[in-house]
């Protein structure tokens, strides 16, 4: 078995990827990902040939008579016993149902390899793209073209990446509304562990990143391989280990029966599969993904403006005088963007009516939104607006005029969810209507920001007699692209009843995510920690709510709520116009603290400590030159020990000396730092080696409290 001289090798940021087109021993060729993981150093053509020879599979008893590679595009007809990459059926076909691609060609530009092959008997050609960016993120996708007679229905087109045999654990995330992105672990055993999302959107239970790693890997330890599918519709992520010893991670768009039919000459291209490897735990894996999102998404300033959103301050009770007082209070404490949430549009006094009628309600706003917008802009703040363009209420002018625009699967309507239905964006007239309505608002008012919501799953929906999710998702992308093209400075937040649409596909088009509808600081400590597995911290909306969380009924002190929001895109979700002066002054102090650190948050490296006590979460951001850092140390439960265990501050340079000091307003009330503590005096000066390896002791802290440390090189 020999190499055909076609190979691609890419090294970047301590990682490497090796791909070669190999002889399969049956007179055909096959593309093989020989390595994805640690940097292999400089390799020449002879080295690659030797690696192929060294990695050629052996022939076991009771198996095919030739060695079988794990192909970059696994195929059933080669004897692969796992999940095949291509599944589909041709109408009226009498030939093979499973393709066998051959005569692979490979070209590359040093960063990205492009492979092509055909199966004339099946009437299909395939193109496979595999690349690695400058931060070590692997990007791969496939394209399938129907070159045969008649229609070809695509059932699945999967992308896979191999992982090291030492990966024996799998981590993925699950969740529900207000408890998104909860981690779960299991052994990476033989068989397939599959996570499917069938919500018509990414879903509150989406795995986000599926990770395989060495035993007990953490944020700072272990080798890990993680994959994420950049897609906002139905999807599948899976981890698979075959009896032959092959281990891989894969993902694909989840297509419904008959959803994607290719006419002769038509092609389907998968979403990008992103892969990130780290030899030092989840943090470096996330750093690679954060860099990809920051570089690939439409650019927004790294310094994010402080926001005030009106939902939990006003709900459906819109009143110009009340909202103007709220804007005044926001400006006084340092807010820079004021966002008017739900209830501004026609007929919207509750959530039973109005969705789809994107015109300002003349009964509540007889002069339109101009008085409020002018007042907000006069205070020096930007103005933002809540919309939910993909949804309709049956009690709306739009549905009364166009009942056929409601997305449904049968003659009866789907069950309602939050008293609403879905608008069929694949209908050109419906698409144009919504695009023009939003465009009219953006032209009339000085709107810099849209909070774009999506408050239900797609249930029992179809378009032109086929499942609708693929086309609906593509139409959503086109709608956002059109609006951004017309208004290039517009920022959009993706919200889907909180964290129901968090993925790299939507992040290519939007400017931040709303990770959850709960702003209970205790819940948010966990939700934000795991959301940043993929999403850079400055793109995660982190707001300070009122003293009592409206989703849980918990009460937290302002210091805990504000510190929890500090390492993200800071905002306020609270009627601060009625807050006592002392509390408003404390909030202003936290906003000032955020403004001191937000440039670091938007450009630095996120670090998450593996503290031995689960009651303490350590989260920080370290500048790329490691000259400064800020850490939030939060207690999320009562500690098991009488005094807190030492806290290590990860990410610092062990060969430099740092000054460590507490920042942020002093917390009022009876529960303050007890006993003697270095936090109350002059900054502590220690080498980075001590801070990172030995750590420092905190004072005894009550449950559900936090301290913020700033670390600066001296």
Q: Give the position of tokens 């060495």.
A: 214
Main-chain phi, psi angles of 134, to 5 degrees: -70, -15
Rounded CA-CA distance 262/146 in Å is: 6
Q: Does residue 385 lie within any of the structural domains?
A: yes
Q: Given the residues 6, 133, 205, 453, select the one marked as catalytic.
A: 453
Q: Does residue 351 lie within any of the structural domains?
A: yes
> Within this chain, do residues 409 and 447 fall inside the same structural domain, yes or no?
yes
> Within this chain, do residues 264 and 361 fall inside the same structural domain, yes or no?
no
Q: Give the position of tokens 């939700």.
A: 527
Q: Does residue 302 lie within any of the structural domains?
A: no
Rounded CA-CA distance 310/293 in Å is: 29
Contact 79, 64 (CB under 8 A): yes
Return the CATH number at 375: 3.20.20.70
**Which residues is 193 bridged to in the sheet?**
239
Helices 521-531 + 558-566 axis angle, to 10? 10
Predicted confidence (pLDDT) per residue in 210-261, tens digit: 999 999 999 999 999 999 999 999 999 999 999 999 999 999 999 999 999 9
> Within this chain, do residues 145 and 122 fall inside the same structural domain, yes or no?
yes
Helices (H), 1-137: 45-55
Instruction: Out of 296, 315, 337, pick the residue that ends a domain.
Output: 296
Predicted confidence (pLDDT) per residue in 304-352, tens digit: 999 999 999 999 999 999 999 999 999 999 999 999 999 999 999 999 9
**Which residues is 183 bridged to in the sheet?**
173
Give the DSSP H or E segment for 329: helix 320-333
Number of domains the chain is built from: 3
SS3 91: coil
Q: What is the pLDDT of residue 675?
A: 55
Q: Give the position of tokens 């101009």.
A: 370
CA distances from 38 to 14, 16, 70, 163, 173 (A): 6, 6, 19, 11, 25
Whether 511 sits among the annotated catalytic residues: the reply is no
Return the CATH number at 186: 2.70.98.60
Q: What is the pLDDT of residue 66?
A: 85
Burial, 473: exposed, middle or buried (Cβ in 10 Å; 0-12, 13-18, 19+)? Answer: buried
Q: Which two tokens stand for residue 264?
A: 């002769």
Q: Which residues form the domain of 412?
A: 307-606
Q: Does residue 259 lie within any of the structural domains?
A: yes
Going by the DSSP 8-state scheme, the letter that residue 678 receives in this structure is: G
> Within this chain, do residues 335 and 464 fall inside the same structural domain, yes or no?
yes
Q: Give the position of tokens 């449904």.
A: 408
Instruction: Out of 554, 585, 606, pick the residue that ends a domain.
Output: 606
Q: What is the pLDDT of residue 701?
A: 85
Contact 515, 541 (CB under 8 A): yes
Q: Which two tokens stand for residue 35?
A: 């390595």
Rounded CA-CA distance 679/640 in Å is: 22
The four Cα atoms 662, 666, 669, 670 give a dihedral, to 10 degrees, of 40
For the four alpha carbons of 153, 462, 140 and 239, in that order, the dihedral sign comes to negative
Q: Which two tokens stand for residue 634?
A: 């939060």
Q: Give the position of tokens 């208004």.
A: 487
Q: What is the pLDDT of residue 671?
A: 47
Whether 655 sits among the annotated catalytic residues: the reply is no
Main-chain phi, psi angles of 619, to 5 degrees: -135, 135
Instruction: Out of 550, 580, 606, pick the residue that ends a domain.
Output: 606
Q: Give the position of tokens 């009627």.
A: 575
> Within this chain, do residues 637 and 677 fall inside the same structural domain, yes or no?
yes
Rounded CA-CA distance 652/689 in Å is: 8
Rounded CA-CA distance 382/540 in Å is: 19
> Within this chain, do residues 601 and 639 fall inside the same structural domain, yes or no?
no
Q: Does residue 286 lie within any of the structural domains?
A: yes
> Within this chain, do residues 253 and 125 fall inside the same structural domain, yes or no?
yes
> Within this chain, do residues 243 and 277 fall inside the same structural domain, yes or no?
yes
Rounded CA-CA distance 471/463 in Å is: 8
Contact 192, 82 (CB under 8 A): yes
Q: Given the residues 23, 135, 517, 520, select the one marked as catalytic.
A: 517
> Within this chain, do residues 248 and 321 fall inside the same structural domain, yes or no?
no
Sheet holding 247-253, edge to edge: 159-162, 247-253, 235-241, 191-197
Give the DSSP H or E segment for 277: strand 273-278
**Which residues in the chain land under pLDDT 50?**
1-3, 669-671
Q: What is the pLDDT of residue 27?
A: 79
Following DSSP, what letter does each residue of 367-390 receive, concatenated? Answer: TTTHHHHHHHHHTT-EEEEEE-TT
Closest CA to 228 of 281, 179, 292: 292
Measured over all CA atoms, what is the biggest interatomic distance in the chain, rounded to whole angstroms?
Answer: 82
Q: Which two tokens stand for residue 271?
A: 């979403």
> Within this chain, do residues 636 and 545 fall inside the same structural domain, yes or no?
no
Q: What is the pLDDT of residue 676?
A: 60
> Within this chain, do residues 290 and 341 fall inside the same structural domain, yes or no?
no
| Long-range contacts formed by 375-379: CB under 8 A, 24+ apart | 375/324, 375/327, 376/327, 376/338, 377/446, 379/327, 379/328, 379/330, 379/331, 379/338
Q: Which two tokens stand for residue 95?
A: 């030939």
Q: Helix, strand, coil shares of the chain as percentages rounded to 5? A: 20, 30, 45
Full 3-state SS string of 131-164: EECCCCCEEEEEEEEECCCCCEEEEEECEEEECC
Q: Does residue 301 lie within any of the structural domains?
A: no
Return the CATH number at 684: 2.60.40.1180
> Within this chain, do residues 354 and 211 fall inside the same structural domain, yes or no?
no
Rounded CA-CA distance 129/132 in Å is: 10
Rounded CA-CA distance 276/37 in Å is: 9
SS3 546: coil
Q: What is the pLDDT of residue 400?
A: 98
Q: Does residue 426 lie within any of the structural domains?
A: yes
Q: First vs last Cα of the chain: how many Å apart?
A: 59
Q: Which two tokens stand for residue 158?
A: 């999967």
């Amino acid at each position: 078995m020999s190499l055909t001289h076609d190979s691609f090798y890419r090294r970047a940021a301590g990682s490497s990827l090796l791909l070669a087109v190999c002889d399969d021993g049956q007179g055909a060729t096959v593309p093989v990902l020989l390595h994805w993981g640690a940097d292999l150093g400089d390799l020449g053509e002879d080295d690659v040939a030797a690696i192929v020879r060294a990695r050629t599979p052996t022939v076991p008893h009771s198996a095919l008579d030739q060695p079988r590679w794990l192909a970059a595009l696994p195929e059933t007809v080669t004897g692969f016993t796992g999940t095949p990459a291509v599944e589909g059926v041709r109408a009226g076909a009498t030939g093979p149902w499973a393709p066998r691609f051959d005569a692979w060609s490979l070209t590359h530009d040093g960063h990205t390899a492009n492979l092509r092959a055909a199966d004339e008997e099946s009437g299909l050609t395939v193109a496979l793209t595999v690349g690695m960016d400058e931060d070590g993120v692997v990007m791969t996708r496939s394209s399938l073209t129907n070159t045969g007679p008649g229609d070809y229905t695509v059932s699945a087109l999967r992308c896979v990446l191999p992982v090291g045999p030492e990966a024996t654990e799998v981590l993925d995330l699950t969740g529900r509304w207000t408890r998104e992105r909860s981690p779960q672990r299991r052994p990476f055993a033989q068989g397939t562990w599959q996570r499917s999302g069938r919500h018509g959107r990414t879903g509150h239970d989406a795995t986000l990143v599926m990770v395989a790693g060495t035993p007990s890997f953490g944020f700072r330890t272990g080798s890990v391989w993680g994959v994420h599918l950049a897609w906002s519709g139905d999807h599948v992520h899976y981890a698979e280990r075959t009896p032959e010893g092959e281990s891989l991670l894969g993902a694909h768009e989840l297509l419904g029966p008959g959803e994607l039919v290719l006419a002769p000459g038509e092609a389907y291209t998968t979403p990008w599969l992103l892969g990130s490897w780290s030899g030092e735990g989840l943090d470096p894996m996330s750093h690679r993904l954060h860099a990809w999102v920051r570089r690939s998404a439409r650019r927004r300033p790294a310094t994010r403006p402080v926001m005030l959103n009106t939902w939990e301050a006003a709900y459906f009770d819109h009143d110009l005088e009340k909202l103007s007082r709220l804007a005044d209070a926001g400006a006084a404490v340092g807010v820079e963007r004021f966002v008017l949430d739900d209830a501004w549009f026609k007929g919207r006094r509750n959530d039973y009516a109005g969705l789809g009628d994107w015109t300002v309600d003349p009964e509540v706003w007889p002069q339109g939104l101009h008085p409020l917008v002018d007042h907000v802009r006069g205070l020096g703040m930007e103005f933002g607006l809540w919309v939910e363009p993909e949804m309709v209420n049956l009690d709306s002018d739009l549905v009364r005029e166009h009942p056929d625009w409601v997305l449904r699967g049968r003659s009866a309507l789907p069950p309602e969810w939050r008293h609403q239905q879905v608008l069929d964006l694949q209908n050109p007239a419906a698409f144009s209507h919504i695009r023009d309505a939003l465009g009219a608002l953006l032209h009339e008012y000085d709107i810099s920001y849209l909070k774009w919501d999506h408050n239900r799953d797609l249930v029992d929906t179809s378009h032109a007699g086929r499942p609708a999710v693929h086309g609906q998702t593509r139409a959503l992308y086109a709608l956002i692209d059109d609006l951004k093209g017309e208004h290039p400075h517009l920022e959009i937040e993706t919200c889907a009843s909180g964290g129901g649409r968090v993925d790299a596909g939507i992040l290519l088009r939007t400017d931040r995510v709303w990770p959850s509808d709960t702003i209970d600081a205790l819940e948010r400590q966990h939700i934000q920690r795991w959301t940043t597995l993929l999403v850079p911290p400055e793109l995660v909306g982190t707001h300070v709510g009122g003293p009592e969380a409206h989703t849980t009924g918990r009460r937290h002190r302002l210091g805990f709520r504000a510190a929890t929001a500090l390492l993200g895109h800071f905002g306020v979700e609270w009627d601060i116009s009625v807050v006592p002066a002392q509390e408003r002054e404390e909030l202003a102090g936290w906003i000032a603290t955020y403004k001191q650190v937000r440039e670091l948050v938007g450009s630095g490296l996120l670090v998450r400590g593996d503290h031995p006590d689960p009651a303490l979460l350590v989260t920080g951001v370290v500048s790329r030159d490691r000259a400064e850092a800020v850490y939030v140390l939060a207690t999320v439960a009562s500690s098991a020990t009488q005094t807190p265990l030492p806290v290590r501050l990860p990410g610092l340079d062990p060969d430099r000396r740092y000054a460590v000091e507490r920042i942020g307003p002093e917390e009022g009330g009876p529960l303050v730092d007890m006993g003697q503590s270095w936090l109350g005096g002059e900054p502590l000066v220690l080498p980075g080696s001590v801070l990172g390896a030995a750590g420092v002791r905190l004072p005894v802290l009550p449950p559900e409290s936090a301290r913020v440390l700033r670390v600066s090189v001296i």
